[in-house]
């Protein structure tokens, strides 16, 4: 019998740890293995001497030899770190925009594997943009055509090729340093029961990318005075349509690598996660405040998503 939660159990463990607020930048990869080790992330265990007692495998297995915590899969890992029940862990993971750990390299349209090699990322060789089609959902969500073009967002459909991306809205993921395309975040306009809204490229480390960062660097003299940090690329496009500079870390959490990008873009951050992540976001705001000036206002009453804010509401924050 198939497991309806299998797609959550197989989420890339390092990305899950990062989303849980764990600093994975200090983790090291075991030579010749798809396994990483580092400091124990579990509450109540703060080893003074052994800082590498925790290990996690690409297949989801994890164990701490210091506190004896062990398990397998992202659901178990989330329950152990957040100290929550099964349903709470599932709800948390369903909101993330990361995908299952790949069993083999993803193949682009050109047939070239797009693999995240150790210490090296390769740009994506693909031709999805050649099969862009009109999409009422996208045009309603992002009405301004110039904004869609600026960020390279489109709906893909190639009838000649069976693809998980068919009918999906494609959101480019660009490298900050080189501006190269490394993949697409795909948004399902009409997900069915059990289907994820978002599909993040398999094997691509989400914590290295910031949506909208390249556009800020290209169009502004950086660092700018202030920058809005929101969860969703669609919120970024909404803010930019209002004349407000914004970026997204593809979620509510911010890695050290993403923080370094933010530092190069702006002197200050106005951090606006969705309402349901406001409490979790306090730790992120604190980390940001260690490097930048930060404003962390709550959303106005009745607003759960920054994308729904008007210009006047944003300016009043």
What's the mean per-residue pLDDT of the chain?
A: 86
pLDDT at 116 over 70: no
Residue 102 in any domain: the answer is no
pLDDT recorded at residue 28: 83
pLDDT at 260 over 90: yes
pLDDT recorded at residue 67: 82
**15 half-sphere exposure, CB direction, 13 A CA radius:** 29
CB-CB neighbours of 199 under 10 Å: 20
Contact between 3 and 9 under an 8 Å Cβ cutoff? The reply is: yes
Residues 29 and 144 in one domain: no
Count of domains for the chain = 2
pLDDT recorded at residue 232: 96
Residues 53 and 135 in one domain: no
Residues 149 and 281 in one domain: yes
Residues 25 and 159 in one domain: no
Q: What is the mean pLDDT of residues 280-290?
A: 91
Task: Supply the angle between the helices 74-82 and 86-94 in degrees, to the nearest 10.
Answer: 110
Residues 184 and 56 in one domain: no
pLDDT recorded at residue 288: 93
Residue 152 in any domain: the answer is yes
Residue 123 in any domain: the answer is no
Residues 85 and 187 in one domain: no
pLDDT bracket for residue 47 (50, 70, 90): low
pLDDT tens for 178-234 read 899 999 999 999 988 888 899 998 888 999 999 999 999 988 898 999 999 999 999
CA angle 277, 79, 34 (to 5 degrees): 100
Top pLDDT among 30 and 317 is at 317
Q: How far apart are CA 227 and CA 82, in angstroms?
A: 30
pLDDT tens for 25-37 read 778 887 767 788 8
pLDDT at 39 over 90: no
pLDDT at 308 over 70: yes
Domain that holds residue 31: 6-94
């Amino acid at each position: 019998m198939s497991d309806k939660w299998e797609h959550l159990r197989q989420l890339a463990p390092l990305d899950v740890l990062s989303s849980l607020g764990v600093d994975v930048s200090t983790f090291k990869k075991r030579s010749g293995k798809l396994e990483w080790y580092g400091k124990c992330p579990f509450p109540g265990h703060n080893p003074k001497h052994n800082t590498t007692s925790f290990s996690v495998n690409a297949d989801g297995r994890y164990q701490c030899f210091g506190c004896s915590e062990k398990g397998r899969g992202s659901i178990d890992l989330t329950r152990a770190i957040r100290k929550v029940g099964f349903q709470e862990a599932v709800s948390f993971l369903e909101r993330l925009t990361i995908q299952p750990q790949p069993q083999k390299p993803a193949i682009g349209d050109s047939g070239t594997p797009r693999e995240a090699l150790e210490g090296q990322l390769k740009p994506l060789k693909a031709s999805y943009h050649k099969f862009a089609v009109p999409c009422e959902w996208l045009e309603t969500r992002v009405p301004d055509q110039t904004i869609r073009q600026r960020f390279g967002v489109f709906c893909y459909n190639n009838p000649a090729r069976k693809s998980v991306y068919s009918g999906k809205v494609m959101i480019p993921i660009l490298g900050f340093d080189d501006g190269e395309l490394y993949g697409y975040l795909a948004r399902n306009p009409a997900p069915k029961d059990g289907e994820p809204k978002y599909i993040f490229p398999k094997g691509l480390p989400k914590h290295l990318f910031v949506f909208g960062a390249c556009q800020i660097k290209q169009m502004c003299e950086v660092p700018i005075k202030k920058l809005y940090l929101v969860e969703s690329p669609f919120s970024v496009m909404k803010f930019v349509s209002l004349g407000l500079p914004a970026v997204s870390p593809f979620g509510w959490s911010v890695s050290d690598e993403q923080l370094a990008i933010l530092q190069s873009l702006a002197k200050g951050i106005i951090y606006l996660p969705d309402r349901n992540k406001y409490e979790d976001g306090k730790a992120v705001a604190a980390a940001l405040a260690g490097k930048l000036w930060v404003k962390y206002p709550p959303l106005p009453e009745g607003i759960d998503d920054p994308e729904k804010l008007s210009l006047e509401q944003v300016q009043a924050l």
